[in-house]
Amino acid sequence: LPQDSAVWTDLDRLEDEHRQLANDIAARFTEFSELDERFHRLIHRASRNRFIVDFYDVIAMIFHYHYQWNKAQERERNEVAIGEHLVYIEALKSRDLGKVDAACRKHLKSARQTLLTSIPESRSLQKH
């Protein structure tokens, strides 16, 4: 993206919001889901890849409306995700594709694990 793209300004703002939330995570961890949504929407919009945007929308719909997120250890998961987002933001700002790829893959791996642990065992057994 060009340096004068509005995405960079939005990314700076989201970075500040992530740092503020991290500093008060004990009291505000439930606010993370809204910040998470805005962060991912910005990344997807900046990618200009319709598949990524559509895929995220489908996954979000399935898990937010069909499954109950596992609330156990929500604060800890949110704290980890905030840290991963900050690493991802730093990588994006560096424009180092290797760092961006590594940060993205690490975050996707964590997200995958969260999704899998949120599916109740009885549901996963019914599908086999």
Provide the 8-state DSSP code for 31.
Answer: G
Other C-beta atoms lying within 10 Å of the C-beta of residue 67: 13
- Give residue-wise pLDDT tens across range 54-88: 887 787 776 665 545 666 688 898 999 999 999 99
Residues 85/39, Cβ–Cβ less than 8 Å: yes
Which residue in 79, 108, 89 sits closest to 10, CA to CA? Answer: 89
Q: Splitting the chain (128 residues) into consecutive groups of 10 residues, what average pLDDT does each group show?
A: 90 98 94 92 89 80 61 85 97 97 95 79 52
Structure tokens at 20: 């503020």
Q: How big is the chain by its Cα radius of gyration, in Å?
A: 16
- Rounded to two decimals, what is the model's pTM? 0.82
Output the CA angle 36-106-29, nearest 5 degrees: 30
1-8, long-range: CB within 8 Å, 24+ apart, which pairs? Answer: 1/46, 5/46, 7/42, 7/45, 7/46, 8/93
Q: Which uninterrupted H or E stretch holds 109?
A: helix 97-118
